[in-house]
Amino acid sequence: MDELAQLTALCRNLGATPAQAGAMARQLIKRADQLVRERGQTREEAMAYLLRLVAQGRSGEVPREFQPPAPRAPAQNRADNSAK
């Protein structure tokens, strides 16, 4: 079984329709190739990273790099704290 077929089966097992699973698998392959070029990662590292994101997303987790920054204190509170 080739990579596309394996990834398509994985996406199907995660609940995607056949059409969605094929599209998702192709996008995973495309993005892994981009990460190899952009970050100098090995293909295995890039695909492992993407599959971790897929698994976390499927389980409802928000990966740390996608979480919004912590809210900042209002300007008045920052001014009060810096005067102390």
pLDDT interval class at 62 (50, 70, 90):
confident
- Tell me, yes or no, whether 41 lies in a domain: yes
What pLDDT, in 10s, does the model give residues 6-19?
A: 999 999 999 999 99
Tell if the pTM clears 0.85, that is, is over it: no
- Tell me, yes or no, whether 65 lies in a domain: no
- Tell me, yes or no, whether 30 lies in a domain: yes
Asked if 50 contacts 33 with a C-beta cutoff of 8 angstroms, the reply is: no
- Tell me, yes or no, whether 72 lies in a domain: no
- Tell me, yes or no, whether 77 lies in a domain: no
Rounded distance, CA 12 to CA 4, Å?
12
| Count of structural domains, the chain | 1
Domain boundaries, position 50: 1-59
Asked if 20 contacts 46 with a C-beta cutoff of 8 angstroms, the reply is: no
